[in-house]
């Protein structure tokens, strides 16, 4: 299906990840190269291939490469505990494992042959870019996804291609994705809704946009991305939808065409809130389906003025069957509850290496004459409504859905019972605040035994994903029992709203910032008192609460910060340090934090904020990074009296954060010239410059205006490469330079990214003016030059720096041109060279 779409739109953009993108043809060629390599390693139909990657273009290439080779993928979330990854690798015995270099050392022991998509790519590019011969059939496996298991271990669900093809065709027939649609990937590939998010756009000509790692939990970031990228299709669990609708700017997202809601009950009041905020008809769809039935099995399109307290799950999708039966497998009449069974071509093959469980859950279909027809016993309670829709009523067993995660409570209980002090363990979910379910663990202990909450948390962290961590642990003398001797879960007491850490670890707030943070934490978590060394997530914080907490923190301190800061600094003490640092950076400050934590001296990079953002994820986790920009609140450049004055201004900014050297400085293009002048001035002030890194920066005097013939040749090449769209882009850019400011003042003119184009034209005008006046003097220190292999000025092999580098010139040639060196795979090489240089200079 994907290859057919490549034939239809080879030059269309297929996938975008922050500042990098691939066309359908490029994505297909890279996936083909990987597939040919995997074939030589023995991958083919029914061969399982592990894939442990973060959200990235490589992840998409990896998935397609596995499928093109004929294999089935086993997703391994890098965030999972080592013990869980070890179980999956041992259970599946995958012969091949695709990953990235930074994850290799953290992987548990295994027998698989490792293929690093970042390190080993040079081997792949030698392979054929043509589609490999593929003998996969609809009955072969496409993936094995592991879900929570009641016995204490996860279970692998085996899904064939047939069910996924049916799912994608149903979505396309029902909702009609177009080549103008952009689908936002918000779900981890370890959960099956990610499958339609990835393959629906790629099989039908849309564009897949990958949210940055952690971005799917940051609703402020999601709103920003939806608006900037004009996202039209996304999937949300109701708890995240609730918070998203509270975000500033959500009213500007009314161009969205399709939202899939699922994973937990969708309240009727939330549907009304959606219509009040976005006023979109036939856009919000409530979907239901377990992993065992190839994603969605039923759906219901949300309507205004619904009388439902909880939205129904609707009717079956194409080629899916629903039966609501009693314990004797007899159909229940309308209005009566029974267990929901699923049939049709979407059913899983069963559970990997679990024949008894497969036999228990996948039974012979008594209503079908088709040989081999089966029904999946879901364990869900449901009933038919009078209008023909199905209402979901809950679970028969102790499985729950929290923030879209399917959790077998028995798996958590089994882990807790492994602690030598624990006699009995029961875990339940509570919903004290609407839309915020939490896990609570109740324990009894062996005689004369004690246990600390910290020990229980560590035990779970070692064995289970973070979303399975209980918010509170309650120690009881005995569990409440029903008259017939079963545990009475309804009589379990509410947890006390007090901190569970030992009193000797409590450290009170020291100043106004810490006091204000403690007050916010106590309000959000419902726990008192909270000390500055208490970990937000150890106190019961989860992804949903973190969104709410951080929204209040940003409002209280009037700081625009990414949610990732909380995950990197989960205590009040750590977060207060970050906020104090940001106090040095008022709203129009030139110093913009990109990554604020880490033990190394900060790296200051001039101009090019977005490029440096993409670089950070590849650098050492202990490396703080700050960008230096000279813009007003509307993104327009601020004018200085030349490069010298701008460099002096930047120096004043960085010294508020780092008063003394050694300094790490750098910059791309014109930013490198500013960093060079900063190094000159700091050196003259007696400060040590540990690193001066220039990313494809030319000495201004070497840049000569291109001849008419060269300009014509360049534009012709771009036209051939990009197509007619280049002419339109070129015309808009030239017109924006001359008439952009006039157009901005005219309310009748609406050109996409006009403000950006105007500010860009103003920036290059100032750059030209600065460069003309600047006469660089020799620098006594060492210069690290990372230059593009595809150079604009061929007669300047060292970009003009040879005579200016008095302390030596260290040159690294990076594959690509002036911009693409900051894209995959070259950006990894830049990061590696940068890290080596920093470690060398600081040692």
DSSP 85: H
So what's the pLDDT on residue 748? 42
pLDDT at site 730:
54
Q: How far is CA 278 from CA 273, 405, 491, in A?
A: 8, 26, 41
Of 553, 603, 600, 555, the closest CA to residue 578 belongs to: 553
Beta bridge partners of 626: 593, 604
Residue 383 lies inside a defined structural domain of this protein: no
Give the integer Cα–Cα distance in Å for 416 and 442: 10
| CATH number of residue 226's parent domain | 3.40.50.12780
Instruction: Determine the Cα–Cα distance for residues 223 and 251; give it in Å rounded to an integer.
Output: 10
DSSP for 10-28, written as a single string: TTSEEEEETTEEEEHHHHH
Residue 158: per-residue pLDDT: 97
* Angle at which helices 24-40 and 57-68 cross, to 10°: 50
Cα–Cα–Cα angle for 516, 533, 431, rounded to 5 degrees: 70
SS3 content of the chain, % helix, strand, coil (to 5): 40, 20, 40
Could you give the CA distance from residue 212 to residue 185 in angstroms, rounded to a whole number? 9
* Whether 491 and 508 share a structural domain: no
- Per-residue three-class SS string for 146-161: EECCCCCCCEEEEEEH
Closest listed residue to residue 694, CA positions, set 679, 665, 664, 672: 672
CATH number for the domain including 674?
Answer: 3.40.50.1820
Q: Rounded to whole angstroms, how far apart are CA atoms 381 and 392?
A: 6
Q: What is the largest CA-CA distance in the chain?
A: 93
Tell me the three state secondary structure of residue 323. Answer: strand
DSSP symbol at 626: E
pLDDT at 17: 87
| 730, 616: one domain | no
The per-residue pLDDT for range 497-554, each reduced to its tens digit, is 665 555 556 788 888 888 989 899 888 887 778 888 888 877 777 777 788 888 888 8
CB atoms within 10 A of CB 602: 21
662 cis-preceded (ω within 30 degrees of 0): yes
Look at the chain and report how many structural domains it folds into. Answer: 6
- What is the rounded radius of gyration, in angstroms, for the C-alpha atoms of the chain? 29
Of residues 17, 106, 117, 104, the one with CA closest to residue 64? 117
Clarify whether residues 207 and 262 are in a common domain.
yes
Please give, one letter per residue, the 3-state secondary structure of 521-541: HHHHHCCECCCCCCECCCCCC
Nearest C-alpha neighbor of 347 from the set 151, 155, 154, 166: 166
| 249: its two tokens | 């700017």
Is 394 inside any structural domain? no
Count of H helices and E strands in the chain? 25, 33
Residues 355, 246 within the same domain: yes
Measured between alpha carbons, how far is 357 from 57 in angstroms, rounded to an integer? 36
Task: Give the domain range for residue 199.
Answer: 143-366
d(CA 191, CA 262): 12
Same domain, 106 and 226: no
Q: What are phi and psi of 318, to 5 degrees?
A: -55, 135
User: CB under 8 Å to 28, separation ≥6 — which residues?
Assistant: 2, 3, 6, 10, 64, 129, 131
How many angstroms separate the CA atoms of 689 and 683, rounded? 7
SS3 of 431-451: EEECCEEEEEEEEEECCCCCC
Q: What is the pLDDT of residue 750?
A: 46
d(CA 49, CA 71): 7
Please answer whether residues 554 and 204 qualify as being in contact, where contact means their C-beta atoms are separated by less than 8 angstroms: no
Report residue 814: phi and psi, to 5°: -110, 130
| Rounded distance between C-alpha atoms, residue 380 and residue 339, angstroms | 6
Does residue 87 fall inside a structural domain? yes
pLDDT at 32: 96
Instruction: Mark which of 539, 566, 583 sits at the end of a domain.
Output: 583
In a domain, 378, yes or no: no
Per-residue pLDDT at 707: 45
Q: For residue 551, what is the domain's CATH number?
A: 1.10.1200.10
- Chosen domain end from 321, 351, 366: 366
Query: How does pLDDT run across 703-742, given as a tens digit for each residue?
Result: 544 444 545 555 566 556 556 655 555 555 555 455 444 4
Same domain, 211 and 179: yes
Q: How far is CA 837 from CA 657, 687, 781, 831, in A?
A: 22, 19, 14, 10
pLDDT score at 619: 85
Q: Both 77 and 207 in a single domain?
A: no
Look up residue 311 and give its two tokens: 């939205």
Half-sphere exposure of 380 (CA within 13 A, CB side): 25
262 & 410 share domain: no
Burial class (CB in 10 A: 0-12, 13-18, 19+), 318: middle
Q: How far is CA 349 from the centre of its chain?
A: 30
Q: Is residue 576 domain-shared with residue 632, that is, in the same domain?
A: no
Q: How many CB atoms sit inside 10 A of residue 86's CB?
A: 15
Q: What DSSP character marks residue 497? A: S
In a domain, 373, yes or no: no
* CA atoms of 794 and 802, how far apart (whole Å): 15
Q: What is the pLDDT of residue 744?
A: 39
Q: Residue 430 gets which letter from DSSP?
A: E
Straight-line distance from the first to the last Cα atom of the chain, in angstroms, rounded to the nearest whole number: 53
Q: Averaged in consecutive runs of 10 residues, what is the pLDDT profile of the chain (843 residues)?
A: 96 89 94 95 96 92 97 93 91 94 85 86 77 93 90 88 97 95 92 95 96 73 90 90 88 93 88 91 94 95 86 95 93 90 96 94 93 93 91 82 78 86 87 73 86 85 83 86 75 72 70 88 82 81 78 81 74 83 53 78 85 81 84 60 85 84 90 92 89 89 52 57 56 51 44 52 72 83 87 61 85 84 85 89 81
Q: Which two tokens stand for residue 126?
A: 């030698």
- How far, in Å, CA of 465 to CA of 407, rounded? 10
Residue 392 placed within a domain: no
Last-in-domain residue among 129, 153, 180: 129
Strands 783-788 and 689-695: parallel
* CATH code for position 2: 3.40.50.980
3-state DSSP of 282-320: CCEEEEECCHHHCCCCEEEECCCCCCCCECCCEEECCCE
Indicate whether 317 and 263 sit together in one domain.
Answer: yes
Question: What is residue 432's predicted lDDT score, i.e. its pLDDT?
Answer: 65
Peptide bond into 529 cis (omega under 30): yes
Q: Are residues 516 and 486 in the same domain?
A: no
Of the candidates 283, 231, 282, which has an alpha carbon nearest to the alpha carbon of residue 252? 231
Is the CB of residue 651 less than 8 Å from the CB of residue 682? yes
Helix or strand run (H / E) with residue 546: helix 543-557
In a domain, 388, yes or no: no
Answer yes or no: do 5 and 122 share one domain: yes
Residue 220 covered by a domain:
yes
485: left (phi over 0), alpha (psi -120 to 50) or beta: left
HEC-encoded secondary structure of 671-720: HHHHHHHHHHHHHHCCCCEEEEEEECCCCHHHCCCCCHHHHHHHHHHHHH
Residue 14 pLDDT: 96
Buried b (16+ CB within 10 A) or exposed e, 676-695: bbbbbebbeeebebbbbbbb
| Tokens coding 42 | 């023995």
pLDDT, one tens digit per residue, over 562-599 is 776 777 778 888 888 878 766 544 444 578 778 877 77
Residue 477 backbone dihedrals phi, psi, to 5 degrees: -70, -35
Q: How far apart are CA 648 and CA 590, in angstroms?
A: 12
DSSP codes of every residue in 358-410:
HHHHEEE-TT--STT-EEEEEEEEEEE-TTS-EEEEEESSSEEEETTEEEEHH
């Amino acid at each position: 299906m994907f290859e057919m779409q490549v034939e239809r739109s080879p030059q269309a953009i297929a996938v975008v990840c922050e500042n990098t993108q691939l066309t359908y043809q490029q994505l297909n060629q890279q996936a083909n190269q990987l597939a040919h390599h995997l074939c030589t390693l023995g991958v083919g139909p029914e061969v399982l291939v592990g894939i442990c990657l973060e959200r990235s273009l490589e992840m998409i290439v990896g998935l397609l490469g596995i499928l093109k080779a004929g294999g089935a993928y086993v997703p391994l979330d890098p965030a999972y505990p080592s013990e869980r990854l070890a179980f999956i690798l041992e259970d599946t015995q995958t012969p091949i494992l695709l990953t990235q270099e930074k994850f290799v050392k953290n992987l548990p022991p295994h027998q698989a042959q490792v293929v690093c998509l970042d390190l080993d790519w040079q081997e792949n590019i030698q392979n054929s870019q043509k589609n490999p011969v593929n003998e996969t059939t609809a009955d072969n496996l496409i993936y094995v996804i592991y879900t929570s298991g009641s016995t204490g271990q996860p279970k692998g669900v085996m899904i064939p291609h047939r069910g996924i093809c049916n799912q994608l065709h149903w979505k396309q027939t029902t909702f009609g994705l177009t080549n103008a649609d952009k689908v936002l990937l918000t779900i981890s590939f370890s959960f099956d809704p990610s499958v339609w998010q990835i393959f629906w756009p790629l099989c039908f000509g849309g564009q897949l946009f990958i949210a940055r790692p952690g971005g799917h939990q940051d609703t402020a970031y999601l709103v920003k991305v939806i608006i900037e990228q004009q996202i039209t299709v996304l999937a949300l669990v109701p708890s995240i939808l609730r918070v998203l609708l509270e975000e500033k700017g959500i009213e500007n997202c009314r161009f969205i065409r399709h939202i899939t809601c699922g994973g937990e009950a969708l309240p009727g009041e939330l549907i009304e809130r959606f219509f009040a905020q976005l006023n979109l008809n036939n856009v919000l769809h409530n979907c239901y389906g377990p992993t065992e039935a190839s994603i969605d099995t039923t759906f219901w399109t949300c309507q205004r003025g619904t009388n439902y307290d909880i939205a129904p799950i609707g009717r079956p999708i194409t080629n899916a069957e629903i039966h609501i039966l009693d314990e004797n497998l007899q159909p229940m009449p309308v209005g009566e509850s029974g267990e929901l069974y699923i049939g049709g071509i979407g059913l899983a093959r069963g559970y990997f290496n679990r024949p008894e469980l497969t036999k228990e859950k996948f039974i012979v279909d008594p209503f079908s004459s088709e040989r081999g027809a089966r029904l999946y016993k879901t364990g869900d309670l449901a009933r038919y409504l009078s209008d023909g829709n199905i209402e979901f009523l809950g679970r028969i067993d102790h499985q729950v859905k929290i923030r879209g995660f399917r959790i077998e409570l028995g798996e958590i209980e089994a882990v807790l019972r492994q602690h030598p002090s624990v006699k009995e363990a029961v875990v339940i979910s509570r919903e004290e605040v609407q839309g915020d379910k939490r896990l609570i663990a109740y324990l009894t202990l062996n005689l004369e035994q004690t246990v600390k909450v910290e020990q229980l948390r560590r035990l779970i962290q070692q064995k289970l994903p973070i979303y399975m961590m209980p918010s509170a642990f309650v120690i009881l003398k005995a569990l409440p029992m029903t008259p017939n001797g079963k545990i009475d879960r309804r009589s379990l007491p509410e947890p006390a709203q007090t901190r569970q850490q030992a009193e000797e670890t409590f450290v009170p707030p020291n100043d106004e910032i810490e006091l204000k943070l403690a007050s916010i934490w106590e309000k959000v978590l419902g726990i008192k008192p909270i000390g500055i060394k208490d970990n937000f997530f150890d106190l019961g914080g989860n992804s949903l609460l973190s969104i709410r907490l951080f929204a209040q923190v940003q409002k209280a301190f009037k700081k625009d910060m990414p949610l990732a800061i909380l995950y990197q600094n989960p205590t009040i003490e750590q977060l207060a340090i970050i906020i104090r640092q940001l106090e040095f950076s008022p709203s129009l400050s030139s110093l913009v934090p990109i990554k604020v934590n880490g033990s190394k001296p900060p790296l200051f990079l001039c101009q090019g904020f977005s490029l440096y953002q993409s670089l950070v994820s590849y650098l050492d986790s202990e490396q703080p990074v700050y960008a230096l920009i000279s813009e007003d609140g509307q993104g327009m450049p601020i004018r200085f009296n030349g490069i010298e004055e701008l460099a002096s201004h930047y120096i004043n900014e960085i010294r508020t954060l780092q008063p003394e050297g050694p300094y790490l400085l750098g910059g791309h293009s014109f930013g490198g010239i500013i960093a060079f002048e900063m190094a000159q001035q700091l050196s003259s002030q007696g400060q040590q410059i540990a690193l001066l890194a220039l990313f494809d920066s030319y000495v201004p005097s070497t840049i000569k205006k291109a001849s008419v013939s060269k300009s014509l040749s360049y534009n012709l090449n771009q036209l051939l490469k990009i197509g007619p769209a280049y002419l339109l882009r070129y015309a808009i850019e030239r017109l924006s330079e001359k008439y952009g400011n006039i157009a901005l003042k005219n309310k009748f003119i609406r050109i996409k990214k006009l403000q950006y184009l105007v500010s860009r034209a103003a920036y290059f005008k100032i750059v030209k003016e600065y460069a003309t006046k600047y006469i660089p003097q020799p620098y006594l220190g060492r210069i690290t030059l990372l230059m593009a292999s595809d150079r604009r000025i061929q007669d300047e092999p060292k970009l003009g720096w040879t005579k200016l580098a008095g302390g030596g010139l260290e040159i690294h040639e990076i594959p690509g041109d002036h911009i693409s060196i900051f894209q995959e795979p070259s950006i990894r090489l830049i990061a590696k060279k940068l890290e080596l240089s920093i470690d060398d200079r600081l040692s």
